[in-house]
């Protein structure tokens, strides 16, 4: 427990108040409408054994003694500026700012699966970027440069927006010393490494703005995709940026989940080429947004922003109900014009929940209720029952329409923590992991309130809690009291951006995405039923392998993992302390991409996308 001073008043900070952690600071919610950003000290666990990071923390804390008191006033309301200064033993170690509710990081608006699941209107996204354009211009007129401008420090609900991490902005003699590689202007580098050798400037802010816009419109950034040359070395993201090998380069494989570049109007396409190939810089032309309007083609149903649908002009294939390719037979078992919200295979039966025109339905077309989809809603299935969670309330809707209610804890105040398998449902309440049971509620064990994530399979469950320097994993057996909380998953460095888990009866494949020193890292740890970590592997986001492609949608079966990639399914196995692809299934390539979810099916694998469920049989 840490004690700090705010306006002469002592305030005790508790682990349960933590709502976010990054590479430089921890965020506490100290009142319903106020958060506190506390800088990490050089002795923080994240900096252990890294003298460079320790020295950076010393410099950062020293500079903030002068920078925060001098922070400019009168900035746009969209910018969350430091409010009250936080001190310890007279030194400034943080500040307070307003708490933001109902908003997501802009990164989510560049993820197709998330946007489709939540019904994001691309024209509304364009409107958000118009507001962001105004905000950036206002900051520049006030003499500030955002500097480390990235999609994790822009928050939006699709209507309004907020900029966080204002304390890193550049003004006066105070430079922004951080950067995020995906948004770093290569003109700031020496051309050899994607590391700045010159200070951020207004032009580099507009470059980052452009990258975020393209990612949000196409679901792929200017340097997305993977480089696969006919000859020579494959280049990773940083080298491609330095060499200007964009996602459109003939040696780069365009991601299957991304929207085609051809849907953009000619003016925006020309601007893309000017920035990425000719190093044009300057204020992003607002007229490109004012003239940008997406429509849905009445013939093919695809979105575009051109006078005529470019996909209808191009030759295409008609999607058949049954398709055979090589050793794979694909049979579509369900399709909706709306969105598949949740799906699960339990006791060998396929269950799913989908939305059409504002109404939720279960499999077989059984109407459940009217509901507007929102990122704040969480859905789970237990056989024919449907779990709907929002805030601290969990509703369990039975097939006959009866509804029961539970109070649940939320992870860091936002994500209601509940899950289910084919027999029971599970939830956190008052720091306890609980399970439904025929005679009431079964207590499974104690966890850390507001800081715990967990997942449940048919015979194995896994979870973790993280607060400050404390990181602890646990495994449990559904239906049995007791948690084994001695799982040594190690330190989770930086900002935890996403987490997922694929469970078989024997293993938990625990995935994370973290932002570390400006780089997005994918990691997987494999934990057995005894709580031992038997294998680990990591990859940079976008790296040309199964882990770099994404952390969601994979399926654990026995000792193996079936992973989805744009090139088809692969089967991954643990080898000593690492992992290896033991088999590839190239004939599955037309039927999968990195955004689908895999589920076990009798004699095959279900592939669940936004609109379809397809049964793949591999002969």
pLDDT digits (tens, 9 = 90+) for 423-449: 999 999 999 999 999 888 999 999 998
Q: Which residues pair with 2 in a beta bridge?
A: 13
Q: Give just the sign of the alpha carbon dihedral 58, 60, 65, 66.
A: positive
Element (H, E) at 327: none
3.40.1110.10, 1.10.510.10, 2.40.110.10, 1.10.10.10: CATH of 101-316: 1.10.510.10
Given a contact cutoff of 8 angstroms between Cβ atoms, the answer to whether 350 and 363 are in contact is yes
CATH number of the domain located at residue range(s) 1-99 in this protein: 3.30.200
DSSP structure string for 353-418: EEEETTEEEEGGGEEEEE----TTEEEEEETTEEEEEETTEEEEE-TTS-EEEEE--EETTTEE-E
Q: Give just the sign of the alpha carbon dihedral 340, 407, 419, 540.
A: positive
pLDDT (0 to 100) of residue 301: 81
Query: Among residues 255, 176, 340, which one has the least CA distance to residue 542?
Result: 255
Stretches in the chain below the pLDDT threshold 50: 315-319
pLDDT (0 to 100) of residue 386: 96
Predicted TM-score (pTM) of the model is 0.90
Task: Report d(CA 35, CA 17) in Å as an integer.
Answer: 9
Taking each helix axis from N to C end, the angle separating 122-141 and 202-218, rounded to the nearest 10 degrees, works out to 170
Given a contact cutoff of 8 angstroms between Cβ atoms, the answer to whether 527 and 461 are in contact is no
Question: Could you give the residue range(s) of every CATH 1.10.510.10 domain in the chain?
Answer: 101-316
List, in order, residues 6 or more apart from 230 with CB less than 8 Å away. Answer: 251
**Look-up of token digits 């740890």:** 525
Given a contact cutoff of 8 angstroms between Cβ atoms, the answer to whether 490 and 471 are in contact is yes
- Compute CA distances 542 → 33, 225, 491, 551, 592, whole Å: 37, 7, 23, 11, 17
Given a contact cutoff of 8 angstroms between Cβ atoms, the answer to whether 381 and 346 are in contact is yes
Query: Among residues 218, 216, 220, 224, which one has the least CA distance to residue 128?
Result: 216
Q: Name the region of 497 (left: φ>0; alpha: ψ -120 to 50; beta: rest).
A: alpha
Task: Report d(CA 292, CA 286) in Å as an integer.
Answer: 10
Task: Report d(CA 249, CA 268) in Å as an integer.
Answer: 17
Per-residue pLDDT tens digits for 328-383: 999 999 999 899 999 999 999 999 999 998 999 999 999 999 888 888 899 999 99
pLDDT (0 to 100) of residue 317: 38
DSSP structural state of residue 32: T
Give me the half-sphere count of Cα atoms (radius 13 Å) on the Cβ side of residue 136: 27
Task: Report d(CA 216, CA 268) in Å as an integer.
Answer: 14
Q: Which two tokens stand for residue 204?
A: 């580099």
pLDDT (0 to 100) of residue 320: 53
- Compute CA distances 359 → 296, 343, 352, 387, 575, whole Å: 21, 16, 14, 15, 46
Phi and psi at residue 328, to the nearest 5°: -120, 130
Question: Could you give the residue range(s) of every CATH 3.30.200 domain in the chain?
Answer: 1-99
Q: Which two tokens stand for residue 611?
A: 């609109």
Task: Report d(CA 463, CA 434) in Å as an integer.
Answer: 13
Query: Among residues 208, 167, 225, 132, which one has the least CA distance to residue 24?
Result: 167
DSSP structural state of residue 204: H
Considering all CA atoms of the chain, what is the largest pairwise distance in Å, rounded to the nearest integer?
73
């Amino acid at each position: 427990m840490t004690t700090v001073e705010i306006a002469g008043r002592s305030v005790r900070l508790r682990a349960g108040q933590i709502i976010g952690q990054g590479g430089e600071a921890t965020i506490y919610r100290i009142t319903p409408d106020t958060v506190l950003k506390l800088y990490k000290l050089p002795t923080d666990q994240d900096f252990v054994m890294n003298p460079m990071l320790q020295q950076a923390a010393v410099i950062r804390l020293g500079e903030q003694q002068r920078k925060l008191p001098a922070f400019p006033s009168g900035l746009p309301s969209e910018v969350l500026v430091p409010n009250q200064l936080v001190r310890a033993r007279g030194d400034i170690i943080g500040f307070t700012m307003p708490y933001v509710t109902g908003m997501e990081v802009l990164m989510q608006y560049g993820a197709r699966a998330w946007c489709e699941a939540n019904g994001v209107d691309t024209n509304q996204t364009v409107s958000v970027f118009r507001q962001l354009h105004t905000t950036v211009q206002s900051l520049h007129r006030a003499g500030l440069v955002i500097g480390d401008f990235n999609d994790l420090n822009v928050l939006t609900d699709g209507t309004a927006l907020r900029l966080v991490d204002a304390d890193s902005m550049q003004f006066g003699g105070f430079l922004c010393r951080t950067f995020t590689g995906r948004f770093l202007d290569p003109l700031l580098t020496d051309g050899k490494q994607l590391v700045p050798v010159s200070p951020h400037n207004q032009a580099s802010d507009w470059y980052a703005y452009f990258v975020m816009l393209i990612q949000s419109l196409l679901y792929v950034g200017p340097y997305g995709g993977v480089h696969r040359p006919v000859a020579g070395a494959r280049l990773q993201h940083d080298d491609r940026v330095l060499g200007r090998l964009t996602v459109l380069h003939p040696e780069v494989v365009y991601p299957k989940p991304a929207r085609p570049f051809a849907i953009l109007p000619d003016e925006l396409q020309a601007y893309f080429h000017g920035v990425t190939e000719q190093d044009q810089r300057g204020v992003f032309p607002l007229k490109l947004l004012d003239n940008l309007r997406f429509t849905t083609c009445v013939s093919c149903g695809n979105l575009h922003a051109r006078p005529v649908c470019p996909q209808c002009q191009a030759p295409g294939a008609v999607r058949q109900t049954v398709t055979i390719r090589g050793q794979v037979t694909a049979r579509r078992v369900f399709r909706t014009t709306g969105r598949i919200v949740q799906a699960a295979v339990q006791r060998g039966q396929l269950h799913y929940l989908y939305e059409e025109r504002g109404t939720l339905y279960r499999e077989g077309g059984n109407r459940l209720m009217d509901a507007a989809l929102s990122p704040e809603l969480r859905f789970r299935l237990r056989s024919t029952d449907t779990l709907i969670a929002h805030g601290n309330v969990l509703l369990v809707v039975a097939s006959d329409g009866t509804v029961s209610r539970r109070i649940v804890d939320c992870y860091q105040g936002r994500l209601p923590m509940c899950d289910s398998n084919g027999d029971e449902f599970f939830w956190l309440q008052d720091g306890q992991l609980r399970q439904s049971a025929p005679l009431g509620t079964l207590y499974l064990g104690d966890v850390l309130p507001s800081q715990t994530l967990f997942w449940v399979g048919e015979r194995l469950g896994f979870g973790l809690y993280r607060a400050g320097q404390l990181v602890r994993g646990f495994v449990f057996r559904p239906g049995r009291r007791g948690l084994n909380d001695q799982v040594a998953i190690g330190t989770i460095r930086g900002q935890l951006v996403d987490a997922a888990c694929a469970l078989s009866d024997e293993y938990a494949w625990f995935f994370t995405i973290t932002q570390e020193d400006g780089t997005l890292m994918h990691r997987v740890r494999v934990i057995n039923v005894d709580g031992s970590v038997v294998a680990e592997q990591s990859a940079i986001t976008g790296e040309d392998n199964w882990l770099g492609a994404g952390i969601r949608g994979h399926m654990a079966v026995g000792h193996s993992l079936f992973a989805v990639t744009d090139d088809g399914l692969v089967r991954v196995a643990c080898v000593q302390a690492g992992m290896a692809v033991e088999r590839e299934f190239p004939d599955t390539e037309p039927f999968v991409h990195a955004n689908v979810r895999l589920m076990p099916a009798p004699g095959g694998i279900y592939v669940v996308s936004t609109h379809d469920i397809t049964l793949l049989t591999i002969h």
